[in-house]
Amino acid sequence: MGQVSASSSITVDADPQRALEAIADYETVRPRILSPHYRDYKVVEGGKGAGTVAEWTLQATEKRSRNVHAVVTVSDSIVTERDANSTMVNTWTVTPEGTGAQVTLRTTWKGAGGISGIFEGIFAPLGLKKIQAEVLENLKRELA
């Protein structure tokens, strides 16, 4: 089993603190920025910042979906979502960039072993980067 990861970044026209607060707002902002690949999104506990618990189904491809039960932590300029159902971790990192902020979304998980793991390590990140890019573009529009 190898570590699989996908990462995408975007620059937004908002100061880093505002961008971080938007990312950590699971009640109002998050539902508006999710792509159609996300289904059945709901906040289970909290809603803003650390301690929030949210659930959704990520429909990565027609045949591949994952039920996510994300537990949120926030540390300085990083929002982390750990899936209680798997090894998947989403890390949102916000850094100053000119008059705005750069937002990077990185997803990691332990991949399958054997031949299927090789294919997963090659193709899953490509598909996930497209989904990440769409969510980040939606965030950019939200913050404009």
Per-residue pLDDT of the chain (144 residues), as tens digits, is 578 888 999 999 999 999 999 999 999 999 999 999 999 999 999 999 999 999 999 998 788 888 999 999 999 999 999 999 999 999 999 999 999 999 999 999 886 666 666 666 566 767 789 999 999 999 999 999
AA identity, residue 121: G
Task: Give SS3 for 142.
Answer: helix
| Token pair in block for residue 29 | 């902002």
Q: Is 82:89 a contact under the CB 8 Å cutoff?
A: yes
Count CB-CB contacts under 10 A for residue 60: 14
pLDDT for the residue 18: 97
Cα angle, residue 32 at apex, residues 81 and 124 outer, rounded to 5°? 50
**CA dihedral defined by 11, 135, 90, 102, rounded to 10 degrees?**
0
